[in-house]
């Protein structure tokens, strides 16, 4: 091989490597969860699947534990195209669309299976469609688990919440749920909860079991009441600006990876929560309060004023469709 040919081949290889590096595009996904929970795993599954499908042409860096800011800041970044993806509770998207607030109605879902059936429905897609007008594209749902009350007093009846200062997400319906039971609902950013519990700014909170564990709330709160007032639907959302900047092939990769990741979350969350509940029951640090059907019904009745106030605002027709989807599913107690 002549020196000229060697130089030519070397230059060609350099150009190809450079072109490959230039063609690779890196996107960013943010969230506020801790690494140990299923919620965070959804982000990692999404990232891995995008890389696999694209052969490395498209990658997603995952920035969890509020590295990019809190949820409000994250959604602002999504709208501006500064961050590409975000994992978030539907309750925190209420300022952008009344329709997603319907998930905050207390005791909406009859069971885990009923909720999962809903997430695969056309109704579910219709509910999040208006978010696109605000620059937020919903890619898929997955559950975070049932939200339960954690406190330092044993709560078996709604009247035992009277006067209790309880942290909720800054969403009107979630606050109304506890105000209806006589508690004092205090909206607060997730990152402030632990210190506020320590300092007595609040007396209690409400979270899925994985959050109670990962945030250490169980180290300063003795009781966990399994009331399951909300089955927390989470969304993998994307900046509409980013979406429109992708070509059709890249959009297919993102869509397929989102479905894969959300399906993974659905398959794992309840099993992981069940294992955590069993560990709580086997331990001595916390007391788990499991409500009877009659006790849970008392909580449901106490929160009826929430429906009276908000049902028409969030869409009674949509509510009726959700109930229709659940007709074939038996009611089950939310035990994880």
Contact 201, 165 (CB under 8 A): yes
- How far is CA 95 from each of CA 80, 127, 214, 307, rounded to the nearest angstrom? 16, 14, 27, 19
Q: Does residue 332 lie within any of the structural domains? A: no
Nearest to 171, CA basis, from 185, 182, 183, 161:
185
pLDDT of residue 121: 96
* Averaged confidence pLDDT in the chain: 93
- Looking up residue 267, the CATH number of its domain turns out to be 3.40.190.170
Whether residue 100 has pLDDT greater than 50: yes
For range 294-315, the mean pLDDT: 98
Identify the residue whose tokens are 């909206």: 187
Whether residue 306 has pLDDT greater than 80: yes
Q: Does residue 330 lie within any of the structural domains? A: no
Whether residue 213 has pLDDT greater than 50: yes
Query: Which is higher by pLDDT, 333 or 54?
Result: 54
pLDDT of residue 23: 72
For range 79-83, the mean pLDDT: 98
Contact 57, 271 (CB under 8 A): no
pLDDT of residue 122: 97
Q: How far apart are CA 78 and CA 137, in angstroms?
A: 9
pLDDT of residue 232: 85
* Residue 334 pLDDT level (bands cut at 50, 70, 90): confident
Whether residue 6 has pLDDT greater than 50: no
Whether residue 118 has pLDDT greater than 60: yes
The percent of residues in the chain predicted with pLDDT above 70, rounded, is 93
Q: Does residue 169 lie within any of the structural domains? A: yes
> Angle between the 304-314 and 316-325 helix axes, to the nearest 10 degrees?
110
* Residue 24 pLDDT level (bands cut at 50, 70, 90): confident
Whether residue 217 has pLDDT greater than 50: yes
Whether residue 87 has pLDDT greater than 80: yes
Whether residue 227 has pLDDT greater than 70: yes
DSSP assignment string, 27-85: EEEE----TTSHHHHHHHHHHHHHHHHHTTSEEEEEE-TTTT--HHHHHHHHHHTSS-E
Q: Does residue 333 lie within any of the structural domains? A: no
Rg, the chain, Cα only: 22
Detail the DSSP E strand segments found in the chain: 25-30, 58-63, 85-89, 136-151, 165-168, 184-187, 205-207, 223-239, 287-290
For range 37-59, the mean pLDDT: 98
Q: Does residue 253 lie within any of the structural domains? A: yes
* Residue 8 pLDDT level (bands cut at 50, 70, 90): very low
Contact 135, 239 (CB under 8 A): yes
pLDDT of residue 10: 40
Q: Does residue 31 lie within any of the structural domains? A: yes
Q: pLDDT tens digit string along 279-301?
A: 999 999 999 999 999 999 999 99
> Angle between the 316-325 and 112-119 helix axes, to the nearest 10 degrees?
120
pLDDT of residue 3: 39
State how many domains the chain has: 1
Length of the chain counted residue by residue: 336
Q: Does residue 154 lie within any of the structural domains? A: yes
pLDDT of residue 333: 85
Quote the domain boundaries for residue 127: 18-325
For range 113-127, the mean pLDDT: 96
Q: pLDDT tens digit string along 162-206?
A: 999 999 999 999 999 999 999 999 999 999 999 999 999 999 999
Q: Does residue 334 lie within any of the structural domains? A: no
pTM: 0.90
């Amino acid at each position: 091989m002549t020196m000229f040919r060697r130089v030519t081949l070397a230059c060609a290889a350099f150009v190809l490597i450079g072109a490959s590096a230039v063609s690779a595009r890196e996107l960013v996904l943010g969230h506020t969860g801790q690494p140990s929970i299923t919620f965070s795993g959804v982000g990692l599954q999404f990232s891995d699947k995008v890389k696999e499908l694209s052969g490395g042409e498209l990658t997603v860096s995952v920035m969890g534990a509020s590295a990019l800011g809190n949820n409000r800041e994250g959604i602002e970044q999504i709208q501006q195209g500064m961050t590409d993806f975000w994992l978030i509770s539907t309750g925190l998207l209420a300022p952008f669309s009344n329709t997603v607030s319907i998930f905050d109605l207390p005791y909406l879902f009859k069971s885990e299976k009923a909720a999962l059936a809903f997430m695969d429905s056309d109704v579910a897609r219709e509910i999040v469609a208006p978010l696109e007008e605000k620059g937020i594209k919903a890619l898929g749902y997955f559950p975070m688990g049932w939200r339960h009350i954690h406190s330092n007093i044993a709560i078996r009846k709604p009247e035992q919440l009277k006067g209790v200062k309880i942290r909720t997400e800054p969403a009107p319906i979630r606050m109304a749920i506890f105000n209806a039971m006589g508690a004092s609902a205090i909206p607060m950013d997730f990152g402030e909860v632990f210190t506020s519990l320590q300092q007595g700014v609040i007396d209690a909170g409400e979270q899925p079991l994985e959050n109670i564990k990962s945030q250490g709330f169980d180290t300063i709160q003795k009781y966990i009441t399994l009331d399951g007032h909300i089955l927390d639907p989470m969304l993998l959302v994307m900046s509409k600006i980013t979406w429109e900047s992708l070509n059709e092939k890249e959009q297919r990769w993102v869509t397929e990876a989102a479905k894969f990741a959300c399906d993974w979350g659905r398959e794992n969350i309840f099993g992981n929560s069940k294992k955590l509940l069993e560990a709580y029951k086997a331990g001595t640090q916390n007391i788990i309060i499991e409500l009877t059907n009659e006790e849970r019904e008392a909580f449901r009745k106490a929160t009826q004023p929430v429906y009276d106030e908000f049902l028409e605002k969030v869409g009674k027709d949509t509510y009726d469709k959700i109930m229709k989807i659940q007709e074939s599913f038996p009611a089950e107690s939310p035990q994880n």
